[in-house]
A = this chain, B = another copy of it.
Amino acid sequence: MGATKTEHFTDKQNQIATLIKALGHPARIAIIEYLMKVDDCICGDIVNELPLAQPTVSQHLKELKNAGLIKGSIEGNAICYCIDEKAIEKLQNYFGNISTKLSNKKNNCC
């Protein structure tokens, strides 16, 4: 096999899994952290900041964009990227909810 059986899970589960999966790679973490560090949107520069070839970086950017984690807008012959806060909020809420529910638990086993 090798293909995830998405049809057996709920849409919500598949959606959050896709969003989370998009961040499950150090290069994509590094991209997000760089966009955060520069404290502004960045046109160009990302390729030079990462230890990977340009096509590889482009591919990672595409995945982040498809997942909705970053936005890109054309700025001359460069492209300007920045983090999409909504996606980060979704993730924060998701884990926040789990945390909250866990603290209301009995949890007398493990």
How many of A's residues come within 8 Å of B, CB to CB? 56
Residues in B with CB closer than 8 Å to A8 are: 26, 51-52
Number of copies: 2
- CB pair B109–A40 under 8 Å, yes or no, is yes
User: Using Cβ atoms and an 8 Å threshold, which residues of chain B touch A105?
Assistant: 39-40
**Least CB distance, A19 to chain B, in whole angstroms:** 8
Beta-carbon contact of A107 and B40 below 8 Å: yes
A13 near B40: Cβ-Cβ < 8 Å: no
Question: Known contacts A4-B25, A13-B26, A40-B106; can you find 11 more A-B pairs with CB under 8 A?
Answer: A4-B26, A5-B27, A9-B27, A17-B24, A20-B29, A24-B24, A32-B98, A82-B110, A89-B99, A91-B91, A92-B99
